[in-house]
């Protein structure tokens, strides 16, 4: 065969020439005689091989250069975790990430490079003499090796990000409850199955890519004969053997995927609810068994092809698998569903619906809800008001949304101060529990007068102080009556802020250098500023040149090295935004959207952040429609010191297996909740995000009877309310009140419910927040034979009240915007009181003012300038001017009771007694003494009744 007959692609010809390829020489090739033939290319002078030392040095330096950011990141992260005393957490996380990557990189590299190198060697050996050996070209060898390394890196990176799943798998604990179909402990679905599926998919993808590369290598080596329309027999044998072995492994792993699909029937959506249905269990399950069996048979047949080519058995098994997929897995389930299940759906699906109800309630902790009956609905009267004076003193009149604007206008004091979302909490003040609203005053550095590096990094380093007001008090101008205000913080209650600096908060998203030679701005005082120097422990000490250099590289900021004001006592505070800070330590916890600030008894400020463990893999549980979560627990409470940045984790739900697994993986990270300081425990509250998710699931899953659930006979909905002129879903709200039948007030989070497509109220849910009953969920179901107005119905009644709508129209015409705040539904004994604040905001002003309070019962509505006036107008039949309550109504004074008229009193004596009781009731109402107020009204009614009897007799 002459070289002229070989049609070699030009790209390979050039590569071979550049590599100095000489061809294969047969015996007796010298002198041009014997059995040898001329090589396709002439010999070239061989250059002496240069040393590769320089190349290696350049390569190592290049790797170091591109790795510098990674090295600096690892080192500075270590310093940061060390500053927080969470070195072990960092080591554990980094170890799982690093060793996961290394292990999977080695596995991927061995599979890719090993198979490709083996294919190259076997193909080269099978190449006949005097054929071009393309695979011996150095560039091809480097291409194979480099490609294997690159792809192995990508494969390892893709699986190593799931390090937290491997961590949970290795530290898993049993759940203690099994799934209803296969009897597997739920921990199998939460911890094990996700890992098995991830590994199976990863290895199948890796083997498929390996297989493609193997075929490509054999094809390149056989490119000449392929172009001539044939394949060399010897090479076709080794290709078949190699491909058959890899394909058999792929089919075997594919077989395991059917096993996983069997377990995943627990998440099926075929039936009326989430979870395996009648059709899944009686048709799809057998189809999966058949598919798994035929796929295993196909793997065995493919393995047989390693030794002998046998296409027919492979085609037969493929056909059987196809029949099982189409007939058993497709047509038969559809026929069964149509002709067996649909005509008898309730009967066939009953056990599976029950599983869904039970496991959804378990996944969202709805099975712990205590259902109570609200026995009867009575009209609200003076006795209800008198018996609930403590409740009335804690009714929240301030809506957090307009109040945030009010804080900004009245208490920001400088343009560079900003208030975050207003928090709601309770404090013991003068021996009484008072519900308050508060917010932190933080820096918005974008509004600094000068955005110099010194100002941003060294001088303006922290926010300062808090603002606090009671929920029920406002001035005649419609502004809050502040408990704590101004700079420095001024308090008119027994709560003092002794450490007002806020270095760690909701808006502290940049890094600062504290403890430098430059004093730090604290707050403005008149025409001057007050400065201070940080004295805490927060931040990484920059006590040597290496740390400064490392953070200069990390931050990309040469000023860290050049500034003369940074000294060995300076600390760098990074990750100061509290949620970012927590996520940096524990990225596996989900966080509630509303962290809240707490003022402790010793005057320090702490943030409390609720954290959740969750899963999307809880069997038979219907997921939340927005998050796909079907298991969630408020397992962790986190505190962050606003001055030092110290982060502490406390386990709030010791029964949760996920947090138990994390606790086992990170010894020392989590503490018992009992270790939390008592002055923080008293401020714990149930997270609103979790409560909202549970309330949404409870709309359907309060129905535990399968027939009722199947027919959707009693589905509820979240009520609508009016805010700022538009309808929106009613938000849960915190109240301080006793539960019906109880005598002691407690801090509750409440959510009313309506029947679906109706606006009347059908039930309300409450969760208890005080430490002794924390987390207990209670639902009160209202009598279905009685109509109880829902929030939107009350809103409509307010709109239809002539005097109120006329007043709103006058305000609107006068250039003011009417803002109607949260409508609160307050249970009082066996009655309901509806309260809605009304704010005015001028078109030319950003300051909302609380101008009116609307109160309503099932029969009456009143709007007045204060809650006391509104209640008096609502309950008193006789209209009249009621004095606006002034001063501090924290302590409820008592008014001496007026003696009742004697039994034989005359008409004149009864008239005098009635007038005296009326005046006493007014005096008690003005002083907030609701008990005396109710007593005097009862005595007034008694005198009036006796007076009517006497006057009737005289006639």
Six-digit token string for 190: 């939460």
Burial of 656 (0-12, 13-18, 19+ CB in 10 A): buried
What is the Cα–Cα distance from 304 to 298, expressed in whole angstroms? 10
Q: Bridge-partner residues for 733, per DSSP? A: 750
Q: What are phi and psi of 90, to 5 degrees?
A: -65, -45
* Predicted pLDDT at 3: 43
* Predicted pLDDT at 41: 45
* Predicted pLDDT at 236: 73
Site of tokens 């594919």: 254
Question: In 535-576, which ranges are E strands?
Answer: 540-541, 571-573
Site of tokens 């034989």: 904
* Predicted pLDDT at 1: 42
pTM score: 0.83
Six-digit token string for 349: 């699906």
**Pairing relationship of beta strands 647-651 and 670-672 according to DSSP bridges:** parallel
The set of residues, in sequence order, having a beta carbon less than 8 Å from that of 132 and lying 6+ positions away, is: 6, 8, 12, 16, 21, 23, 40, 224
Three-class SS of residue 334? helix
* Predicted pLDDT at 954: 41
Q: For each successive 10 residues of the chain (955 residues), what is the average pLDDT?
A: 46 49 42 43 49 70 78 94 95 94 96 91 71 67 88 95 95 95 96 96 96 86 54 70 93 95 95 94 94 94 88 90 90 93 93 97 96 88 83 90 91 90 93 93 91 93 95 91 94 94 95 95 88 94 94 94 94 96 96 96 96 96 93 97 97 96 95 94 95 96 95 94 86 92 91 93 95 94 89 91 87 82 90 92 84 91 90 66 35 52 70 80 68 74 78 53
* Predicted pLDDT at 888: 37
* Predicted pLDDT at 673: 95
* Predicted pLDDT at 948: 77
What is the Cα–Cα distance from 896 to 432, expressed in whole angstroms? 22
Name all contacts of 67-72 with Cβ < 8 Å and 24+ positions apart: 68/553, 69/553, 69/554, 72/550, 72/553, 72/554
* Predicted pLDDT at 11: 47
* Predicted pLDDT at 574: 96
What is the Cα–Cα distance from 24 to 36, expressed in whole angstroms? 9
CB 348 within 8 A of CB 341: yes
* Predicted pLDDT at 809: 86
The set of residues, in sequence order, having a beta carbon less than 8 Å from that of 432 and lying 6+ positions away, is: 390, 393, 890, 891
* Predicted pLDDT at 892: 40
DSSP for residue 674: G
Three-class SS of residue 196? helix
Three-class SS of residue 469? strand
CB 201 within 8 A of CB 254: no
What is the Cα–Cα distance from 943 to 937, expressed in whole angstroms? 10
**CA of residue 889 relative to chain centroid, distance:** 40
CB 696 within 8 A of CB 716: no
């Amino acid at each position: 065969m002459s070289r002229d007959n070989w049609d070699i692609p030009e790209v390979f010809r050039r590569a071979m020439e550049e590599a100095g390829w000489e061809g294969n020489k047969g015996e007796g090739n010298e002198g041009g005689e014997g059995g040898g033939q001329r090589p396709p290319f002439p010999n070239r002078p061989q250059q002496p091989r240069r040393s590769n030392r320089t190349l290696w040095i350049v390569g190592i330096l290049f790797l170091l250069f591109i790795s510098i950011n990674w090295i600096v990141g690892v080192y500075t992260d270590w310093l940061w975790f060390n500053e927080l005393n969470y070195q072990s957490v960092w080591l554990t996380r980094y170890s799982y990430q690093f060793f996961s990557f290394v292990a999977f990189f080695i596995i991927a590299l061995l599979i890719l490079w090993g198979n490709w190198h083996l294919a190259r060697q076997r193909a080269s050996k099978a190449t006949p003499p005097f054929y071009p050996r393309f695979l011996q070209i150095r560039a091809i060898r480097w291409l194979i090796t480099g490609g294997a390394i690159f792809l192995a890196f990508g494969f390892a990176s893709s699986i190593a990000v799931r390090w937290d799943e491997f961590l949970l798998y290795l530290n898993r604990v049993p759940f203690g409850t099994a799934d209803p179909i296969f009897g597997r402990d739920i921990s199998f679905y939460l911890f094990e199955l996700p890992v098995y599926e991830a590994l199976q998919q990863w290895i199948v993808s890796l083997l498929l890519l390996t297989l493609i590369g193997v075929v490509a290598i054999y094809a390149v080596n056989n490119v000449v004969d392929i172009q001539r329309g044939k394949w060399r027999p010897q090479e076709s044998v080794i290709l078949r053997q190699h491909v058959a072995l890899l394909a058999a492994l792929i089919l075997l792993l594919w077989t395991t995927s059917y096993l996983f699909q069997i377990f995943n029937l627990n998440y099926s959506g075929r039936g009326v609810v989430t979870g395996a249905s009648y059709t899944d269990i009686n048709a799809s399950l057998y189809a999966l068994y058949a598919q798994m069996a035929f796929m295993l048979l196909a793997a065995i047949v493919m393995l047989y092809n390693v030794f002998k080519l046998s296409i027919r058995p492979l085609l037969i098994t493929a056909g059987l698998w196809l029949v099982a997929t189409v007939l058993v897995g497709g047509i038969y389930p559809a026929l069964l569903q149509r002709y067996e299940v649909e005509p008898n759906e309730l009967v066939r699906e009953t056990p599976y619906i029950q599983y869904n109800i039970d496991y959804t309630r378990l996944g969202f902790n709805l099975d712990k809800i205590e259902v109570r009956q609200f026995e009867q609905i009575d009209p609200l009267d003076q006795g209800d008001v008198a018996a609930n004076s403590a409740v009335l003193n804690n009714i929240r009149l301030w809506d957090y949304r307009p109040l945030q604007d009010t804080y900004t206008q009245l208490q920001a004091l400088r343009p560079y101060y900003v208030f975050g979302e207003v928090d709601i909490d309770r404090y013991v003040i003068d021996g009484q529990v008072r519900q308050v609203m508060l917010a932190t005053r933080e820096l918005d550095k974008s509004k600094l007068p000068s955005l110099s590096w010194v100002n941003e990094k060294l001088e303006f380093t922290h926010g300062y102080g808090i603002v606090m007001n009671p929920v029920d008090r406002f001035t005649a101008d419609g502004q809050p009556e502040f408990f704590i205000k101004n700079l420095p913080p001024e308090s008119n209650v027994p709560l003092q802020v002794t450490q007002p600096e806020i270095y760690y908060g909701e808006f502290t998203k940049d890094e600062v250098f504290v403890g430098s030679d430059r004093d730090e701005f604290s707050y403005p005082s008149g025409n001057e500023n007050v400065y201070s120097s940080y004295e805490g422990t927060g931040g990484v000490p920059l006590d040597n040149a290496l740390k400064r250099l490392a953070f200069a590289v990390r931050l990309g900021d040469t000023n860290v090295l050049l500034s003369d004001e940074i000294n060995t006592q300076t600390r760098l505070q990074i990750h100061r935004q509290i949620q970012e800070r927590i996520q940096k330590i524990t990225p596996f916890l989900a966080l509630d959207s509303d962290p809240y600030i707490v003022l402790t008894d010793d005057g320090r400020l702490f943030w409390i952040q609720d954290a959740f463990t969750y899963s999307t893999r809880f069997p038979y549980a219907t997921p939340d429609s927005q998050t796909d979560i079907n298991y969630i627990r408020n397992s962790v409470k986190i505190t962050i010191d606003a001055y030092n940045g110290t982060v502490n984790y406390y386990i709030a739900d010791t029964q949760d297996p996920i947090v138990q697994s994390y606790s086992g993986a990170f010894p020392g990270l989590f503490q018992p909740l009992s270790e939390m300081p008592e002055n923080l425990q008293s401020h714990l509250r149930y997270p609103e995000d979790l409560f909202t998710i549970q309330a949404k699931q409870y709309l359907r899953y309060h129905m535990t009877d399968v027939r009722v659930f199947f027919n959707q006979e009693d589905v509820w909905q979240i009520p609508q309310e009016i805010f700022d002129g538009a309808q929106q879903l009613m938000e849960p709200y915190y109240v301080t009140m006793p539960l019906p039948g109880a005598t002691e007030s407690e801090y509750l989070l409440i959510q009313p419910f309506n029947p679906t497509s109706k606006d009347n109220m059908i039930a309300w849910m409450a969760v208890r927040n005080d430490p002794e009953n924390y987390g207990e969920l209670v639902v009160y179901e209202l009598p279905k034979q009685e109509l109880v107005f829902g929030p939107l119905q009350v809103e409509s009644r307010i709109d239809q009240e002539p005097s109120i709508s006329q007043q709103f129209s006058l305000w609107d015409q006068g250039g003011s915007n009417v803002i109607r705040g949260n409508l609160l539904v307050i249970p009082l004994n066996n009655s309901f009181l509806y309260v809605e604040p009304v704010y005015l905001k001028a078109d030319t002003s950003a300051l909302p003012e609380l101008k009116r309070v609307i109160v309503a019962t099932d029969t009456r509505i009143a709007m007045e300038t204060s809650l006391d006036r509104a209640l008096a107008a609502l309950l008193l039949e006789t209209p009249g001017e009621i004095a606006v309550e002034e001063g501090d109504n924290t302590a409820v004074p008592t008014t001496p009771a007026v003696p009742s008229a004697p039994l034989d009193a005359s008409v004149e004596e009864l008239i005098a007694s009635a007038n005296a009781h009326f005046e006493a009731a007014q005096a008690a109402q003005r002083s907030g003494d609701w008990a005396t107020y109710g007593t005097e009204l009862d005595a007034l009614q008694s005198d009036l009744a006796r007076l009517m009897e006497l006057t009737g007799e005289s006639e």
